[in-house]
Amino acid sequence: METGNQSSSDQPPKPTRALVLPGGGGRGAYQVGVVKALYEHGIRFDYAFGTSIGGLNATMIGQQELDRLEDLWCNMRAHDIYRIPSAAQLGRLVLGRNLGLLDTGPLEDLLRRECDLHRLKQSPTKVGWCTTDLCSLQTNLVTIDDIASTNELVDILMATAALPIAFPPRHMHGTGLWMDGGLVRNTPLQAALDCGADEIYTVLLHPEKVNVCPANMFEILSRVLDVVLDASARKELQSAELYTQLALTNKESGKKLPAIKVFQPRSPISLTLLEIDPVRSRKLIKQGYDEAKDQLLDYQRADSAMAKLDSASPPAGPPDRIVRKKAKAS
């Protein structure tokens, strides 16, 4: 009996895991494939933080509805998210009564059908969304703990999904003009660090590098948004790399820093932010799934190699100093 208790107590504690999903518009289907591969690998999340389409994906993942999320992506088209404005809406845009080029009524209808406040409140995965207020220039992380009603939930989801200029910003609690937090923090990595996660998994959605000039205003808008959001995501990636370096540097001191695992497309995604097509979404889900499985193997090999180095290294503390002195004497 004592031996059994001992073996149970020797098991390492379960790590706290956070999923971080940045924006990327129609490329967001790739994230679904990556999370699907992580689930098959037995990885579940205590936290899910997202911005823009990453925030919408995180919501469904928080509801424990990954299969439904995949089904949505496999059937969604652009007109299920936004519509080209009517003549009357264009008139309101010119007069300053409408603050976005596109009509996002379809997206709001979709969110009201699919999002479940009760499920999110009861979920083992706490969800958070990043959004920026154009009035105060403040960027906030709003978590499910801050949400008291379905209307508030829809407001934060519409706000984090509000691509600058393209989609109208959103009032929250009757104030501000809140929009896509990707303007400042496309990858809400800091939120995962602040919650004390031991392992952080983030899925980046870099656009394909093209050498073709945009041919119309729609393409210009998409390209400008790509530039802004991609620059924000790369800044966060640099932060992740810095944390990884610090973790390796501080390993001997005993200070523990989170392990950050980054997943990103190995082959380019030739899709703009505003393109949503079910055929291409299915391909992106498969690409994300296949590439994530390969990247997981790479991380496993790296972790195994690091463990071997750790076991081969001399013990820390005074004995280590003695060994070094003997080496110098010889």
Q: Is the Cβ–Cβ distance between 26 and 73 less than 8 Å?
A: no
- pTM (predicted TM-score): 0.82
| pLDDT at site 320 | 45
| pLDDT at site 12 | 72
| pLDDT at site 226 | 72
pLDDT block averages, 10 residues each, the chain of length 330: 48 89 92 98 97 96 98 97 74 62 94 98 97 91 97 97 90 92 72 92 76 71 70 67 65 69 85 89 97 93 75 54 39
Distance CA 232, CA 135 (A): 20
Q: Is the Cβ–Cβ distance between 181 and 236 less than 8 Å?
A: no
Residue 313: half-sphere exposure toward Cβ, Cα within 13 Å: 12
Q: Is the Cβ–Cβ distance between 115 and 129 less than 8 Å?
A: no
The residues, any chain, with a CB within 8 Å of residue 126's CB and separated by 6 or more, are 46, 47, 48, 62, 143, 144, 145, 195
- Print the SS3 string covering the chain: CHHHHHHHHCCCCCCCEEEEECCCHHHHHHHHHHHHHHHHCCCCCCEEEECCHHHHHHHHHHCCCHHHHHHHHCCCCHHHCCECCCHHHHHHHHCCCCCCCCECHHHHHHHHHHCCHHHHHHCCCEEEEEEEECCCCCEEEEEHHHCCCHHHHHHHHHHHCCCCCCCCCEEECCEEEEEECHHHHCCCHHHHHHCCCCEEEEECCCCCCCCCCCCCHHHHHHHHHHHHHHHHHHHHHHHHHHHHHHHHHCCCCCCCCCEEEEECCCCCCCCCCCCCCHHHHHHHHHHHHHHHHHHHHHHHHHHHHHHHHHHHCCCCCHHHHHHHHHHHHC
| pLDDT at site 258 | 84
Distance CA 327, CA 178 (A): 62
The residues, any chain, with a CB within 8 Å of residue 265's CB and separated by 6 or more, are 30, 204, 205, 206, 287, 288, 291
